[in-house]
Structure 1
Amino acid sequence: MAATPATNPSQLLPLELVDKCIGSRIHIVMKTDKEIVGTLLGFDDFVSILSETHTRVLITPEGRRITKLDQILLNGNNITMLIPGGEGPEV
């Protein structure tokens, strides 16, 4: 009898979890002071992210600066953390 695929998110490999998030809301924390909240459209083997974004937050010494974007392509090397279903920082 063949094993059934894992359905518990804690048992998924990282790329499997990211794949399950396509079409869903995601919060992305970059290595810089940038955070992005949007809908994940796709990714590649390097976890470069194509996202339909709602907000981008840049935290500066003066406070937060919000930028609205339609789409963004992020280099996976610059991503620190992906939070599926995340709402992002309070604006």
Structure 2
Amino acid sequence: TRSRRDSTRVTGNAGFMAQVLPLEIIDKCIGSRMWVIMRGDKEIVGTLRGFDDYVNMVLEDVTEYEITAEGKRVTKLDQILLNGNNVALLVPGGDPSQA
């Protein structure tokens, strides 16, 4: 399991300043739809079920969009494990059809 990190830092006379860490934002998205833009020509939309410190992710109810020479290929999957090294961008609640 992931260890929790302290998200509050003391800054001189300014008092307390909340700092939001990227993994905390992803943690709040568990159970929500995510639009994942991968390195290369793939985009994936699914429900985030879990992740680790390397942003490897498990998604369910997945739709994969791939740009090919013939056009766009759409693949439906029940579940997928994504390698965090291939993730370029995460859009919480995002949907490529609305972009």
TM-score by length of 1: 0.83
Q: Which runs of 5+ in 2 are unaligned?
A: 1-7, 9-15
Q: After superposition, give the CA deviation of every residue in 1:6-60 in whole Å (9 maximum; x if it has no partner).
A: 5xxxx52110000000000000011021110010000001000100033100111
Aligned pair partner of 1:67 in 75, 78, 82: 75
Deviation at 1:61, TM superposition (A): 1.9
1:42 is aligned to 50
1:15 is aligned to 23
1:33 is aligned to 41
Give RMSD over aligned pairs.
1.9
Q: Which has the higher contact order (CA 8 A, sep 6+)?
A: 1
Q: Which runs of 5+ in 1 are unaligned?
A: none
2:94 is aligned to 86
Q: Comparing both structures, which one devotes a greater share of its residues to strand?
A: 2
Deviation beyond 6 Å, 4+ runs, structure 1: none
What is the CA–CA distance in structure 1 between the aligned matches of 2:67 and 2:59, rounded to whole Å?
20
1:59·1:65 contact (CA, 8 Å) conserved in 2? yes
How many residues are aligned here? 84
